[in-house]
Amino acid sequence: MPLKVPAGLPALQAVIDEGNAVDILERNTAKTLRIALLNLMPMKETTEADFIRLLATSDEEIELTLLKLDTHTPKHAGPEHMKLYYTSFGEVRESRFDGLIITGAPIEKIEYEEVTYWPELCTIFDWAKEHVTSTLFICWAAQAGLYRKFGIQKHLLPKKMFGIFPHTIARPEIPLFDGLEKTIHVPHSRHTELHREDIVTEGRIELLSESDISGVYIMQEKGTRDFFITGHSEYALYTLDGEYRRDMAKGLPIELPQNYYRDDNSANEPVNRWQPTARKLFGNWIKYYCKLTKI
């Protein structure tokens, strides 16, 4: 599909170099969808590529805007990269978007109010209700969004939830899951969780997909097009491998990612159980929820 990103963005070329077919959208048309990515992850280019890889499989024309916070300077991203390719939230406050993706962040053990940019993030959550057709809250952002909107707390896990886990779809008939099997596989990499009972007793949230192992996965705020997703469907094939070897090298307590390597042996290649599902899931989100049509 035609995709427009900031000119010269290295992540776009990286996705193309992987063999992905990406048509470059030279100019917007009346049917171009405006999607914003608020990238809170430390490795900016990796996360950019993750989501470009998914957006590039849609049939829709998309203009992607990379958003940055006004009140936070990333430690792991070059200032020149942020200056060239990112737009500050303050610059888009009066703009409208068809879709917004808010990524996770490696700060899940910190209390929300102790996060330095929490006030601005809350402002963005509120702004999105009036300026965005559909929002995806990913991993930590899902926890943060549910806390901000409904007061739902996160809980520390005894050990990291790490690997690829099967999930059951509770509402296979809704457009988000069009073309998917009732059981799907999803990567998780986190130290905290949401309790199922907190979700199901909150009458304004619908639980759409969950796992007996990794817990709640996709939730939707009723009456809206907003979704809270605890896993990382966007992850590239070797992301968990990189995290595992990084933590091993640092001497951190880390177990082998479950259901990831062939024969559960880190000397073998990862088994790609999730990316076809991820492409379909994001494609459905763009097709059915970012466009102002009846669902």
Residues in the chain: 295
Q: Does residue 261 fall inside a structural domain?
A: no
Q: What is the DSSP letter of 293?
A: S
- pLDDT (0 to 100) of residue 10: 93
Whole-number pLDDT of residue 294: 61
Is residue 47 assigned to a domain? Answer: yes
Calpha distance 12→82 (Å, rounded): 15
- Contact criterion met (CB below 8 Å) for 196 and 176: no
Domain count within the chain: 1
| Confidence (pLDDT) at 292 | 73
Contact 167, 186 (CB under 8 A): yes
- Is 69 within the bounds of a domain? yes
CATH number at 169 reads: 3.40.50.880
- Give yes or no for residue 261 having a pLDDT over 80: yes
Q: Looking at residue 26, what is its pLDDT?
A: 81
Q: Is residue 21 pLDDT above 90, yes or no?
A: no
Expressed as residue numbers, the domain containing 212 is 2-156+165-236+278-289
What are the Cα distances from residue 186, in Å, to 22, 95, 232, 276, 278? 25, 33, 7, 11, 8
The reported pLDDT for the residue numbered 240 is: 97
Q: What is the token pair recorded at 208?
A: 């759409």
* pLDDT (mean) for 97-126: 96
What pLDDT score was predicted for residue 1? Answer: 60
Would residue 81 count as lying in a domain? yes
272 domain-assigned: no
Q: What pTM did the predictor assign?
A: 0.95
Residue 247 domain flag: no
pLDDT tens digit sequence for 24-61: 888 888 889 999 999 999 899 999 999 999 999 888 99
pLDDT above 90 (res 262) = yes
- pLDDT score, position 295: 59
Catalytic residues, which ones? 139, 232, 234
Q: What percent of the chain shows pLDDT beyond 90?
A: 86
pLDDT at 137: 98
Computed over every residue of the chain, the mean pLDDT equals: 94
Is 295 among the domain residues?
A: no
Q: What residues have CB less than 8 Å from 197, skipping those under 6 apart?
A: none
Report yes or no: 44 and 81 within 8 Å, Cβ to Cβ. yes
pLDDT band at 75; cut points 50, 70, 90: confident
Query: Please, are residues 161 and 188 in contact by the beta-carbon 8 Å criterion?
Result: yes
| Side-chain half-sphere CA neighbours of 21 within 13 A | 4
For 147-205, what is each residue's pLDDT tens digit? 999 999 999 999 999 999 999 999 999 999 999 999 999 999 999 999 999 999 999 99
Q: Is the pLDDT of residue 90 over 90?
A: yes
Q: Which residue has the higher pLDDT, 294 or 205?
A: 205
DSSP 237-274: TTHHHHHHHHHHHTT---PPPBTTBGGG-TTSPBP--S
| pLDDT of 274 above 70 | yes
SS3 label, residue 286:
helix
The per-residue pLDDT for range 226-256, each reduced to its tens digit, is 999 999 999 999 999 999 999 999 998 899 9
pLDDT tens figures, 115-157: 999 999 999 999 999 999 999 999 999 999 999 999 999 999 9
* Residue 258 covered by a domain: no
